[in-house]
Chains A and B, each alone.
Chain A
Amino acid sequence: MIHRRTTVSILAAVALSTSLVACSAGSDPGPSATDTGAAPPAAPVNLTMTVWTANEDQLALFDEIAQGYIAENPDKVASVDFEVIPFADYTTTLTTQLAGGSPPDLAWILESNAPEFVQSGALTDLRGTLEGTPGYEMDDLVDSALALWEDGDSLYAYPFSSSPFAMFVNTDRIAAAGTANPADLVNQGEWTYDAARDISAASVAKLGGAGLVVRDFEYTVWENLATVWGGWGASPWSEDGTTCTFTEPEMVDAMTWIHEAIFADSAIPGPGTSADFFAGETTMTVTQISRASALDGSFEWDLIPLPEGPEGKQNVIGQAGIGVFAQGANPQIAADFLAYFTNPTNAERLATYFPPPRESLLTAEVLAQANPLLSEEQLQAVVVDGIQGAKTKPSHQNFAQLQDTVRAELDAMWQPDADVESVLADVCTAIDPLLQG
């Protein structure tokens, strides 16, 4: 039984702790009166940049570049720490750090989240710093690559990597299956998604394994299907992000094609199956060229451009940006470091893994030096030509919620007897309120 005295005592304890809380720091989130961020610190600072790559070679390269900066600016920066956050939780962990009041100085940003970050006011405008850095060569930057990261005249994040999507092909399996060779079809101008589907289905029928894999899609990351539906000229929502276009004929056709490729033709592996191209049992995969480092030489392979859909070939690139947090401890110094990190010299070094948005560096020769596995022809066809007129993957200010809602609705489509049109109608019904904002 809980007596009155007990209740009173409990209430007293709660009151006590409430006042404890009110007294301690009293730090509500939100802008505080003491936020100035203008006074330059006296001692050299430690910068932090959050990244999602765990690749040792890449991290070593970053450290080298950072050491170069520190050598030139010992009074400003004492060390640069590249904090690795696993890709799957990257954005949520970053958000947690922000919520806790301890954001990093710099952070990598996914293109899908770009609108949200760019328009939130969380990032500092970089344009002034970049233009003001001697030798930066601002004009070298490709304008279309910057589009996603700008708001008006301000540039809020720098797209340090614009990696086109292309098709890796396991030529051993092609030979064993006795189908047409995709590279030949490219030369003949007949490299279409239908052809890719047929070759994949034939290889699966003969050899088992998997046919065409859209890497990282896994029936949850639906935005990666943009590489496919681009060929139909489809898109999830209008340019301004306010209207749902999932029910447009282009998208319906694209999704129907995909659905049949999965369930009728078995060209694309179904839900719940694990198929990794680089493990050797898959015929072809759509992915970014940076994945070439996963090739271990256990099978013969080729790299070719994306196939054409009914509306032709649509290049798709995946971008990643680096931004400086306004709430960070040293936004000015961080911006300065970013300028150094991405200046022409270092951009060339980074080009090994991350194609920069710099015209002078987007040539096959430069890229070939950095990508020993890929030939110049491959790089020319896939990378250099692939960035021209390329679209980025879907992005939106409200992307996190849209991603989750669309994913949930699309789950109904990944059944053999699904009605594609009605599922897409449900998608629009579900996301219309989110698109309106």
Chain B
Amino acid sequence: MSPNSQLERQDEAVTEPRDPGGASHHGKRRTSGERAMRASLWVLMAFAAVPFVFPLWWMATSSLKSTSEILRIPPTLLPESPTFTPYREVFELQPFAQQYWNSIYIAVLVTAGTILLSSLAGYAFARIKFPGANALFVLVLAGMLIPAEVTIVPLFRFVNTLGLMDTHWPLIIVPIFGAPSVLATFIMRQFFLGLPYELEEAGRIDGLGRAGLFWRIAFPLARPAIAAVAIFTFLKSWNLYLEPIVYLSSRDKFTIPQALTQYVDAYGGPMWNVQLAATTLTVVPVLIVFIVAQRQFVQGLAHTGLKG
């Protein structure tokens, strides 16, 4: 059986839930007791969905209200007289479009760089038995365990010595080469460990060197793992909070999480409706991308756990 179709079958399994109930193996007849059970499970699920969805709903509707309406008790579910003024102010008060772009292009660069670096390293750790491979892998793994707050001060001094303060370089280089990409290497390694040897045998017979085996055979097959890595890495870079605060000081260099906290009046009191409008602007596009591509999201993530 060709490997691609085997992977495809596993993909299908995740996105089309099978029914382990057993009884409805053939045909769709269900007892009324079962129907009642399923109905109550559905209600439970709908109930469970509320805390996931309601905050986003509230955020979007509040961005159209005036501040006093937001603070009113009892709270209103829909804005009384919706206004887009907060949205206008989002762009007037800060170079928000620039900041948005900053977050996007940094995340894209970090994702591309991490995919490249982690697939190379993950492949080598999985396939090549070079001396010290295990030791180096454990060393690299240690990176996953260190919280950013621990290393931020030495890194800060280091970046400052290099004269790279208030630039985007530390936000790009450090995530690609440092701790955040270690999870990606781990995922890629897991994937390559599970890749059947026969695939590369054919290439070796054809005279491909190791590098060729990687580029021509292993890497193209790694699409699901790469998708997972891309998602994790993009989100992580998108959400970086402490690092931009420490490294960046000019407003037009800020990234989105930073920018969101800046919608305050002259004395630090938050301008709620403007802040929520900015928040909505950052959430909605990502949500749309997610809804459109959610199959790929889920498939990609599912493959990271399959090997345990």
> Which A residues have a C-beta under 8 Å from some C-beta of B?
2-3, 5-10, 13, 24-25, 27, 29, 52-55, 58, 83-89, 93, 96-97, 99-102, 216, 274-276, 279-281, 290-291, 293-294
A54:B264 contact, CB within 8 angstroms: yes
Any A CB within 8 A of the CB of B223: no
Q: How far is the CB of B245 from chain A (nearest CB, A)?
A: 7
- In Å, the complex CA distance between A338 and B235 comes to 44
B160:A293 contact, CB within 8 angstroms: no
Q: Mark B256-287, 1 if CB is under 8 A from A, else 0.
A: 00000110111111000000000000000000
- In Å, the complex CA distance between A279 and B270 comes to 12
Any A CB within 8 A of the CB of B249: yes
Any A CB within 8 A of the CB of B146: no
Any A CB within 8 A of the CB of B136: yes
- Known contacts: A10-B138, A96-B246, A100-B165. The answer to whether A276 contacts B264 by CB under 8 A is no
A9:B165 contact, CB within 8 angstroms: no
- In Å, the complex CA distance between A10 and B72 comes to 60
Q: How far is the CB of B250 from chain A (nearest CB, A)?
A: 7
- Chain A residues in 8 Å Cβ range of B134: 3, 6
- Chain A residues in 8 Å Cβ range of B132: 5, 9
B67, B250, B261, B264: the one contacting A279 at CB < 8 Å is B67
A86:B264 contact, CB within 8 angstroms: yes
Any A CB within 8 A of the CB of B139: yes
Contact size range, B: 20 to 34
- Chain B residues in 8 Å Cβ range of A25: 161
A5, A52, A93, A294: the one contacting B268 at CB < 8 Å is A52
- Chain B residues in 8 Å Cβ range of A89: 245
Q: How far is the CB of B227 from chain A (nearest CB, A)?
A: 32
- Name 20 extra pairs, CB < 8 A, besides A100-B153, A275-B71, A279-B68: A2-B138, A6-B135, A8-B135, A54-B262, A54-B264, A58-B266, A84-B251, A86-B261, A86-B262, A87-B267, A88-B264, A89-B245, A96-B246, A99-B153, A99-B156, A100-B160, A101-B160, A101-B161, A102-B165, A290-B266
- Chain B residues in 8 Å Cβ range of A8: 135
- Chain A residues in 8 Å Cβ range of B269: 216, 276
B264:A9 contact, CB within 8 angstroms: no
- In Å, the complex CA distance between A13 and B135 comes to 9
A294:B265 contact, CB within 8 angstroms: yes
- Chain B residues in 8 Å Cβ range of A52: 268
Q: How far is the CB of A46 from chain B (nearest CB, A)?
A: 12
Q: Mark B143-170, 1 if CB is under 8 A from A, else 0.
A: 0000000000100111111000100000
Q: How far is the CB of B115 from chain A (nearest CB, A)?
A: 25
- In Å, the complex CA distance between A420 and B157 comes to 46
- In Å, the complex CA distance between A87 and B263 comes to 11
- In Å, the complex CA distance between A5 and B131 comes to 10
- Chain A residues in 8 Å Cβ range of B71: 274-276, 279, 281
- In Å, the complex CA distance between A3 and B135 comes to 9
- Minimum CB distance partner of A48 in chain B: B249
- In Å, the complex CA distance between A85 and B251 comes to 10
- In Å, the complex CA distance between A102 and B156 comes to 10
- Minimum CB distance partner of B92 in chain A: A56
- Chain A residues in 8 Å Cβ range of B264: 54, 86-88
- Chain A residues in 8 Å Cβ range of B265: 54-55, 294
A93:B156 contact, CB within 8 angstroms: no
- Known contacts: A86-B268, A216-B267. The answer to whether A101 contacts B157 by CB under 8 A is yes
Q: How far is the CB of A217 from chain B (nearest CB, A)?
A: 12
- In Å, the complex CA distance between A54 and B159 comes to 27
- Chain B residues in 8 Å Cβ range of A3: 134
- Known contacts: A54-B266, A100-B160. The answer to whether A83 contacts B249 by CB under 8 A is yes
A13:B139 contact, CB within 8 angstroms: yes
- Known contacts: A27-B157, A84-B251, A274-B71. The answer to whether A6 contacts B138 by CB under 8 A is yes
- Chain A residues in 8 Å Cβ range of B261: 86
- In Å, the complex CA distance between A86 and B262 comes to 7
Residues from 115 to 150 in B contacting A, C-beta threshold 8 Å: 132, 134-136, 138-139
Q: How far is the CB of B152 from chain A (nearest CB, A)?
A: 9
A276:B138 contact, CB within 8 angstroms: no
- In Å, the complex CA distance between A280 and B72 comes to 11
B135, B161, B250: the one contacting A5 at CB < 8 Å is B135
- Chain B residues in 8 Å Cβ range of A53: 266-267
- In Å, the complex CA distance between A68 and B138 comes to 60
- In Å, the complex CA distance between A3 and B134 comes to 9
- In Å, the complex CA distance between A294 and B4 comes to 64
A10:B268 contact, CB within 8 angstroms: no
Q: How far is the CB of B81 from chain A (nearest CB, A)?
A: 14
- Chain A residues in 8 Å Cβ range of B245: 89, 93
Residues from 74 to 109 in B contacting A, C-beta threshold 8 Å: 93
- Chain A residues in 8 Å Cβ range of B138: 2, 6, 10
B139, B157, B251: the one contacting A100 at CB < 8 Å is B157
- In Å, the complex CA distance between A2 and B264 comes to 52
- In Å, the complex CA distance between A6 and B160 comes to 34
Q: How far is the CB of B73 from chain A (nearest CB, A)?
A: 8
Q: How far is the CB of A15 from chain B (nearest CB, A)?
A: 12
- Chain A residues in 8 Å Cβ range of B266: 53-55, 58, 290, 293
- Chain A residues in 8 Å Cβ range of B93: 54
- In Å, the complex CA distance between A56 and B160 comes to 29
- Chain A residues in 8 Å Cβ range of B157: 27, 29, 99-101
- In Å, the complex CA distance between A139 and B93 comes to 40
- Chain A residues in 8 Å Cβ range of B267: 53, 87, 216, 291
- Chain B residues in 8 Å Cβ range of A85: 249
Q: What are 27 A-B residue pairs whose CB atoms fall within 8 Å in the complex?
A: A5-B132, A9-B136, A13-B136, A24-B158, A27-B161, A29-B157, A52-B268, A54-B262, A83-B249, A86-B262, A87-B267, A87-B268, A88-B264, A93-B245, A96-B246, A99-B153, A100-B153, A100-B156, A100-B157, A100-B246, A102-B165, A216-B269, A279-B67, A279-B68, A279-B71, A281-B71, A290-B266
- Chain B residues in 8 Å Cβ range of A291: 267
- In Å, the complex CA distance between A310 and B157 comes to 53
- In Å, the complex CA distance between A52 and B134 comes to 50
- Chain A residues in 8 Å Cβ range of B139: 9-10, 13
A13, A93, A97, A276: the one contacting B67 at CB < 8 Å is A276
Which 3 pairs across A and B sit closest by C-beta, in order of nearness? A87-B268, A9-B135, A55-B266
- In Å, the complex CA distance between A176 and B250 comes to 47
- Chain B residues in 8 Å Cβ range of A54: 93, 262, 264-266
Q: How far is the CB of A266 from chain B (nearest CB, A)?
A: 14
- Minimum CB distance partner of A17 in chain B: B139
- Chain A residues in 8 Å Cβ range of B262: 54, 86
- Minimum CB distance partner of B262 in chain A: A86
- In Å, the complex CA distance between A7 and B250 comes to 45
